[in-house]
Amino acid sequence: MNVTVERHSASATLTPHGDIGFADLDQLRARVDQLPSDVTELVWDLHAVPFMDIAGLHLLGVSSPRLHVSVTNLPSQPLHLLRLAGELFPHMGWEQHLPDSSAPRAA
């Protein structure tokens, strides 16, 4: 999987290209692990990800005291998955990654 990395001061934007599944998880986590220690904000730009399974949720759910994770440019299927995860597991905080908390819920 091709992943574009852009640095902006203390933030980094990672843009994967293609579907995200468990086969890609180790490579994507390695890209996160390679970020310099002064990066405190990680943005996943998913505009080029037409499909992701639960592996994508594992990436968004990274728990680190130094790294705040957010997501942007969610295509329809990853957006639907994130909304569904928020409905099924409201205590997990998936709503924080939704573009608009007032958006219609997944059907």
Digit-coded pLDDT (tens) for 68-91: 999 999 999 999 999 999 999 988
What CATH number matches the domain at 2-75, 3.30.70.890, 3.30.750.24, 3.60.21.10, 3.40.30.10?
A: 3.30.750.24
Residue 2 CA neighbour count, 13 Å, CB half:
4
Who's near 44: CB < 8 A, 6+ residues apart?
A: 13, 14, 15, 16, 59, 60, 69, 70, 71, 72
pLDDT of residue 100: 74
Position 24 pLDDT exceeds 90: yes
3-state secondary structure (DSSP) of residue 101: coil
Using 50, 70 and 90 to split pLDDT, how confident is the model at 63?
A: low
CA-nearest of 44, 54, 33 to 96 is 44
Distance between CA atoms of 32 and 8, rounded to whole angstroms?
15
| pTM, 2 dp | 0.86
Lowest-confidence region among 7-21, 67-81, 89-103: 89-103
